[in-house]
Structure 1
Amino acid sequence: MAVRLPRPHRFDVYVAVGGLLGGLLLMAIGLGTRRSADPITLFDGPWPVLVPLVVMAGCELLRRTAPRTALLTGTAAICADLVTQGSLATVLMFTDLVYAAVLYGPLASARRIQWITGLLTVIGTLVPLAVWREPEALLIGVVVGVVAYAPAATGWIVRNHRDAAEAALLRAEQTALLAEMDRSQAVGAERARMARELHDMVANHLSAIAIHSTAALSLDDPKTSQEALTVIRENSVEGLSEMRRLIGILRDSSGDLEPVAAPTLDGLGSLVDGARANGLDVGLDLDHGPLPTPVELAAYRIVQESLTNALKHACPGRVTVALAQRDGSLAVLVTSPYGHRDGPRAPGSGAGLVGMRERAALLGGTFEAGPDGALWAVRAVLPVTDVTEGDPA
């Protein structure tokens, strides 16, 4: 199976073509890096210079796609160039291959190239000085350092800057992603909170309106119809008022409006009176001390939704509401007669139980609802912590 070589980068093609043309120009004018009389020159004349020049130009095509292969082949080409008159273009392209191998190659290879070129520079400095004992021998180490170690060090510096920039960009993208996730979660939580509030504030009134309007339409009794219409008007006015307050809060983007006062357990008496006016036989039993505002709101809404469900689904009989504070928690219990009915007295969305369960879960409490013998029981336990006299919570 034939292996397809990666396509060279456009910039690498420009480097290869430029290096090859520059080397050919130097050959044409007879400029080399060494004289033909130099003892190291084994192949005299301009044409032997062409072989390592062409090979080095070909390696430049792989400087980005296969940097290690390009460097190994280029090393062989620069060694061959040493036994010819040499070409400055070949040497310059080799330095670029060292730079590219450190910049684009694997991290382990980049580190090895750093160590190898540094070691060659030290050897190229100390060994000639020890052998010839002439200050000019130090120039060999300088040449090795310029040709090998300097490009490797430059590539390492550029690589570090590039990696740091990529890491910073990645961190910025992750931070933006986390911020977007937090924003989405906050929006979702706020939407859920507003849905619970809207449901609990309005469902009770609308359920009463639906039930009493059905009674007014089905019974041919002017007195009963008058009473039903009175209840309908009261519930519609109260529901409309609560809707307007909620819409005002939602529409106010400046935050100048004061938030709607959260209902407290002190208002349970009025809530029960309203349920009695809607036809429920409700008993209320309260035994609690000071409570945090979130706990009072959750308990109030759970009782409110339970009474709404009793109004829609319960059989005739007594509904009991009991709240008791014991051992750092507030227990809420609402029971209503349970039995088989032809259908609910008013349609429901099924979101009431979900909302009550969410309210209890947000406070770290528990919630359960279901039949208990002849009764339908709603039970919630809401933790109460850090409650002191006069605590604004």
Structure 2
Amino acid sequence: MTLPRPHRDDLLIAAGGLAIGLLMWSFGLHTQTDRPIDARWATLVPLLVMAAMEALRRTLPQTALTIGTLALVADQFTYGSLVTALMFTDVVYAAVVYGSPASARRVPWSTGLITIGVTIGFLVWWQNAAALVIGLITGMVSFLPAVTGAVVRNHRETAEAARLRAEQTALLAEMDRSQAVVAERARMARELHDMVANHLSAIAIHSTAALSLDEAATTRQALTVIRENSVEGLAEMRRLIGLLRDSSGDAEPAAAPTLAGLEALIAQARTNGRSSGLAFTLVDTREEDGARLPAPVELAAYRIVQESLTNALKHASAGAVGVFLGRDARSLTVRVTSPIGDRPGPRAPGSGAGLVGMRERVALLGGEFEAGPVPDGNGSKTWQVRAVLPAEERTPEA
């Protein structure tokens, strides 16, 4: 197995400790005067081993502590070196700071018990106060570095946890911002499509008719419709742009359309669809009980009718286009029917975004939406758009 490469700072610490230890040894500075091993060179063995463990203090902290402990014990049988003991304190500290979580918890308890055991043992053996000094030195060499390492590690882990929480908070904030941007862009896309598509569809159909039919009256009528829809579409665009601009507070936002404007909307559809043989009717069976619908519900219902009329103008064959409104205590029902089949004359192309926008509007309010062909009772089919909107605002189900 390949040993991990020692950290550069650990190598510098080991080299510095070894150099100071050799210098003190050369001057004969020792911690003891009478030991079983009288050879002065024997003091260098624990010193060299401890210096080697200092080089491994970060990469192999548990191994460094185990071998360093044996080296410190061996040093007590020689003349001893103060540098060996000081390097051991750093090895204990590193074992707590850089070791495994289990080791970081175990070392302070172990060194504390060793300190207590040594103090009691020497008190029993010597039976004088000098044993307390031995216990104090043992605690300073082992327990105090372990406690210091535990405090430092705890602060580092707390700081790392705070950093991770800050990163997660920033990530969640960015996700919320991105979702808000996407939702706002989708809302703007629906509003832009619903506000302008009706006018542009009428312009496309009547301009095609003016180009394909060489009749002065038809051309004049088509140009009149084109001009009206161009002016109204431009006004709608200006209102939308005004809402998107930063307001200084002087201008009031334009009021959102409501169901009270359906008569005008259907009157405009009659003008735009007259050349295509389309007849538009409105049947409103709502009870006049004085209860107002929430503004988002009225806006959604208005836009659904508007988009359905636009789709009828684009795709419906000649016949009756019906708009039906009904309300009970809990919901508002909007239903638009239009004939299916081929029709003479020009048609405007469709993108499919209208149905998507209507479905999104209903989903945001927690309602029900369906669109497709249904039997008309005469053996044929009509295209029906049906939306059931809650009479009160509520959060859509996830």
Distance 1:65 1:268, change over 3 A: same
Q: 1:218 aligns with which of 212, 215, 220?
A: 212
SS in 1 for 2:150: helix
Q: Deviations over 1:33-80 (max 9, x none)?
A: 111x2xxx2211321011111111111111111111111111111111
Instruction: State which of 353, 369, 381 in structure 1 corresponds to 2:388.
Output: 381
Correspondence for 1:69 among 52, 60, 63: 63
1:32 matches 2:30? yes
Q: Does 1:192 align with 2:217?
A: no
Residues matched between the structures, number? 381
Query: In 1, distance between residues paired with 2:389 and 2:106?
Result: 64
Match for 1:359: what amino acid? Answer: R
The separation in 2 between residues aligned to 1:162 and 1:58, in whole angstroms, is 26
* C-alpha contact (below 8 Å) 1:9/1:61 kept by paired residues: yes
* Partners of 1:272 and 1:103 in 2: CA distance: 77
Q: 2:135 aligns to what SS in structure 1?
A: helix
In the other structure, the counterpart of 1:283 is: 281
Counterpart for residue 314 of structure 2 = 312
Matching of residue 132 in structure 1 with residue 126 in structure 2 = yes
**Residues 154 and 243 of structure 1, relative CA distance in 2, 3 Å threshold:** same
Matches within 5 A, 1:1-393: 3-35=1-33, 37=34, 41-252=35-246, 254=248, 257-279=251-273, 280-288=278-286, 289-340=291-342, 345-373=347-375, 374-385=381-392
Give the Cα separation in 2 of the matches to 1:21 and 1:383.
Answer: 84
Post-superposition Cα deviations, 1:199-244, rounded to whole Å, max 9, x if no partner, equal 0000000000000111111111111111111110000000001101
TM-score by length of 1: 0.94
Q: Aligned in 2, Cα 1:222/1:332: closer, same or farther, shift over 3 Å?
A: same
- State the 1:258 CA deviation: 2.3
Output the CA distance in 1 between the equivalents of 2:233 and 2:38: 104
CA distance in 2, matches of 1:342, 1:131: 117
Distance 1:47 1:254 in 2: 87
Q: Following the alignment from structure 1 to structure 2, what is the Cα–Cα distance between the partners of residues 93 and 275?
A: 92
Separation in structure 2 between the aligned mates of residue 268 and residue 218 of structure 1, nearest angstrom? 32
> Helix, strand or coil for the counterpart of 1:278?
helix
Quote the offset at 1:315 in angstroms.
0.9
C-alpha distance 257-129 of structure 1, shift in aligned 2 (>3 A): farther
Q: Does the CA contact (< 8 Å) of 1:313 and 1:343 recur in 2?
A: no
* Aligned residue type for 1:178: L
Q: 3-state DSSP class of the match of 2:355?
A: helix
- Cα 1:22–1:257, aligned 2, differ >3 Å: closer, same or farther? farther
User: Structure 1 residue 84: deviation in Å?
Assistant: 0.7
Q: Which residue of structure 2 lines up, in the alignment, with residue 390 of structure 1?
A: none
Structure 1 residues 13 and 255: CA distance shift in structure 2, 3 A: farther
Identity of aligned residues (%): 66
* Structure-2 change in CA distance of 1:192 and 1:386 (3 Å): closer
Query: 1:93 & 1:342 partners in 2: Cα distance?
Result: 98
Give secondary structure in 1 for the equivalent of 2:284: strand
> How far does the alpha carbon of each residue in 1:299-348 deviate from its partner, in whole angstroms, 9 at most, with x for none?
00000000000000111110010111124011111010012569971012
How far apart in 2 are the matches of 1:213 and 1:343? Answer: 11
Give distance in 1, aligned partners of 2:87 and 2:140.
Answer: 13
Taking the aligned partners of 1:46 and 1:238, their CA distance within structure 2 comes to 105
Cα distance in structure 2, aligned partners of 1:146 and 1:315: 97
Query: Which has the higher mean CA deviation after the structures are superposed, 125-134 or 303-312?
Result: 125-134
Q: Secondary structure at the match of 1:284?
A: strand
Q: What is the CA distance between 1:287 and its match in structure 2?
A: 2.9
Three-state SS of the structure 2 residue aligned to 1:381 is: strand
Counterpart-to-counterpart distance in 1, 2:342 and 2:70: 94
Runs of 5+ unmatched residues, structure 2: 376-380
Corresponding residue number in structure 2 for 1:391: none
Greater shift after overlay, 141-150 or 124-133? Answer: 124-133
Unaligned segments of structure 1, at least 5 residues? 388-393
Aligned counterparts of 2:347 and 2:341: Cα–Cα separation in 1: 14
Answer yes or no: is the 8 Å Cα contact 1:12–1:60 preserved in 2: yes
Q: CA deviation at 1:254?
A: 4.9
The structural deviation recorded for 1:361 is: 0.3
Say if 1:277 and 1:129 are closer, same or farther in 2 by CA, change over 3 A.
same
Q: Partners of 1:43 and 1:58 in 2: how far apart?
A: 22
